[in-house]
């Protein structure tokens, strides 16, 4: 018999046919939608695993980079359509059930026709609806590698109010996938993925059961054990049972009053009493271990998942949270941005009526600084700006505009942009011919002194 890529030891039977782990195998057992919904509705840990990452990925949302009026129009369109809230909901549904779709509603009568991005005009998007995979029946998956919809269903189908099937073109659905399935041969599927609870099921179940078992042991933390000679004979009659019950009821009352136990004793044949207690010293550590395993399986720091302060000498938890935010930023770039790309093309045209090529966005920082950190960074930026002014390398007009834009984006002075627009000395007003000639003659030193 050949043993490939395996450590074997004939003496200890490691890796041989006698090894108990030799016949272990992974079996894919899919959770049903009813089980997944029950976990999400009935277990706090499962619910947080599903909801935390979508909330954190969309909490600070994104900053559009364009002209001021264009940014205002796009942000107003996002607010009117509820884009941020509905993307978060779509991510939640996808993580719970394995997939969800964001339906883009337009004035088109035939939703079975392709929705072309370049045909979306101003106000072309009417509404957005979040639909789970249970509400969308996926059609046959496209296997043509030349098709832009390769790997996606060729169509989706829904039931109308009248009960008729409505076929929807995939260009009208923005798909969100839960946990991707990469086995396209053995598990071709319907273009959706797995629930994220599928892979963490054992860890969540162990954490929940450990908590329930320990809670169930609390009433049994202290048990009184009384040994009664001839107990079976006494309980064989109704009168004996009643007398025994009455006797120990009285004993319990006396114990609660004077904290003592009165029993009849006549040597070895008398009654004996002892108390058994459960020691809970190791149970909290055991519960924390199960919760840490669940947090690791969900790829969420314990400090974020449980909302607890970090433990240990000089522990702040900043490194864990920063690593977590770095992971979320990567997922925003690698997963969420490509998913939203088709919709963003429609959104820009919906808000502006055209597609300026320079319009784009950046994800807003997830790490929020406190007031002291903001003040320190603002001071450093001001010092850097002064260095540029003193050097004279950058024209003052351009540097002034850039500094104002920086202050506006940082939110250092609320209302600064409006105040400058209303100022009688408008920023960046072109100099007169005499001022320009004087500045050329004086050079950078004059500009520095004037500043």
3-state SS, one letter per residue, for the chain: CCCCCCCCECCCCECCCCCCCCCCCCCCCCCCHHHHHHHHHHCHHHHHHHHHHHHHHHCCCEEEECCHHHHHHHHHHHHHHCHHHHHHHHHHHHHHHCEEEEEEECCCCCCCCCCCHHHCCCCCCCEEEEEECCCCEECCECCCCCCCCCCCECCEEEECCCCCEEEECHHHEEEEECECCCCCCCCCCCCCCECHHHHHHHHHHHHHHHHHHHHHHHHHCEEEEEECCCHHHHHCCHHHHHHHHHHHHHHHHHHHHHCCCCCCCCHHHCCEEEEEECCCCCHHHHHHHHHHHHHHHHCCCHHHHCCCCCCCCCCCCHHHHHHHHHHHHHHHHHHHHHHHHHHHHHHHHHHHCCCCCCCEEEECCCCCCCHHHHHHHHHHHHHHHHHHHHHCCCCHHHHHHHHHHHHHHHCCCCCHHHHHHHCCCCCCCCCCHHHHHHHHHHCHHHHHHHC
State whether 186 and 41 are in the same domain: yes
Domain of residue 235, residue span:
222-277
State whether 128 and 54 are in the same domain: yes
Q: Does 140 map to a domain?
A: yes
> How many domains are there within the chain?
3
Q: Which residue, among 190, 176, 1, 115, has the nearest Cα to 346 in the 3D structure?
A: 115
Give the model's confidence band at 233: pLDDT under 50 very low, under 70 low, under 90 confident, else very high.
Answer: confident
Mean pLDDT, rounded, of the chain: 82
State whether 237 and 107 are in the same domain: no
User: Whole-prediction pTM value?
Assistant: 0.73
| Residue 189: per-residue pLDDT | 65
Return the higher-pLDDT residue of 370 and 241. Answer: 241
Q: Does 96 map to a domain?
A: yes
State whether 117 and 166 are in the same domain: yes
Q: Does 282 map to a domain?
A: no
pLDDT at residue 82 tops 70: yes
pLDDT at residue 1 tops 50: no
The least confident of 126-140, 150-164, 311-325, 403-417 is 311-325
Tens of pLDDT, residue by residue over 109-119, are: 899 999 998 88
**Structure token digits, residue 185:** 């041969």
State whether 93 and 175 are in the same domain: yes
Q: Does 340 map to a domain?
A: no
State whether 188 and 46 are in the same domain: yes
Q: Does 28 map to a domain?
A: no
State whether 185 and 264 are in the same domain: no
| Residue 2: per-residue pLDDT | 46
Q: Does 8 map to a domain?
A: no
State whether 42 and 174 are in the same domain: yes
State whether 261 and 398 are in the same domain: no
State whether 249 and 147 are in the same domain: no
State whether 41 and 173 are in the same domain: yes
- Of 150, 178, 194, which one is at a domain's C-terminal end? 194
- Of 207, 242, 277, which one is at a domain's C-terminal end? 277
- Of 277, 297, 320, which one is at a domain's C-terminal end? 277
Q: Does 24 map to a domain?
A: no
Q: Does 6 map to a domain?
A: no
pLDDT at residue 239 tops 60: yes
| Residue 449: per-residue pLDDT | 45
State whether 116 and 44 are in the same domain: yes
pLDDT at residue 353 tops 90: yes
């Amino acid at each position: 018999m050949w043993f490939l890529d395996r450590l074997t030891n004939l003496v200890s039977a490691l890796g041989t046919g006698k090894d108990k782990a030799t016949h272990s195998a992974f079996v894919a057992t899919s959770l049903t939608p009813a089980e997944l919904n029950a976990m999400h509705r009935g277990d706090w840990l499962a619910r947080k695993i599903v909801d935390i990452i979508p909330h954190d990925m969309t909490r600070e949302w994104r900053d559009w980079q364009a002209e001021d009026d264009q940014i205002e129009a796009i942000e107003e369109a996002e607010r009117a359509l509820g884009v941020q809230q509905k993307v978060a909901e779509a991510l939640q549904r996808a993580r719970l059930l394995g997939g969800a779709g964001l339906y883009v509603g337009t004035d088109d009568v035939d939703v079975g026709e392709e929705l072309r991005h370049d045909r979306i005009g101003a106000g072309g998007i009417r509404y957005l609806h979040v639909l789970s995979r249970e509400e969308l029946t996926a059609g046959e998956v496209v296997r043509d590698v030349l098709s832009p919809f390769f790997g996606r269903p060729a169509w989706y189908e829904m039931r109308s109010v009248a009960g008729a099937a409505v076929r929807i073109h995939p260009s009208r659905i923005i798909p969100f996938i839960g946990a991707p399935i990469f086995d396209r041969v053995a598990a071709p599927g319907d273009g959706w993925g797995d629930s994220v609870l599928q892979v963490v099921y054992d860890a969540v179940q162990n954490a929940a059961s450990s908590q329930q078992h320990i809670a169930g042991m609390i009433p049994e933390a202290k048990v009184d054990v009384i040994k009664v000679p001839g107990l079976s004979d006494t309980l064989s009659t109704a009168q004996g049972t009643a007398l025994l019950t009455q006797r120990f009821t009285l004993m319990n009352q006396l114990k609660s009053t004077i904290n003592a136990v009165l029993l009849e004793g006549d040597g070895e044949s008398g009654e004996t009493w002892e108390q058994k207690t459960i020691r809970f010293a190791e149970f909290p550590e055991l519960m924390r271990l199960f919760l840490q395993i669940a947090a690791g399986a969900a790829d969420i720091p314990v400090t974020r998942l449980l909302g607890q302060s970090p433990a240990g000498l000089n522990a702040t938890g900043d490194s864990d949270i920063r690593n977590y935010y770095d992971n979320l930023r990567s997922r925003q770039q690698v997963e969420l941005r490509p998913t939203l790309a088709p919709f963003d093309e429609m959104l820009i045209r919906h808000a502006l009526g055209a597609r300026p090529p320079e319009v784009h966005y950046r994800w807003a920082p997830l790490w929020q600084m406190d007031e002291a950190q903001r003040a320190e960074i603002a001071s450093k930026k001001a010092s850097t700006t002064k260095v540029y002014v003193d050097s004279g390398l950058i024209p003052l007009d351009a540097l002034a505009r850039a500094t104002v834009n920086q202050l506006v984006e940082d939110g250092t002075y609320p209302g600064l942009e409006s105040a400058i627009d209303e100022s009688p000395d408008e920023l960046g007003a072109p100099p007169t011919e005499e001022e320009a000639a004087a500045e050329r003659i004086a050079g950078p030193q004059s500009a520095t002194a004037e500043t």
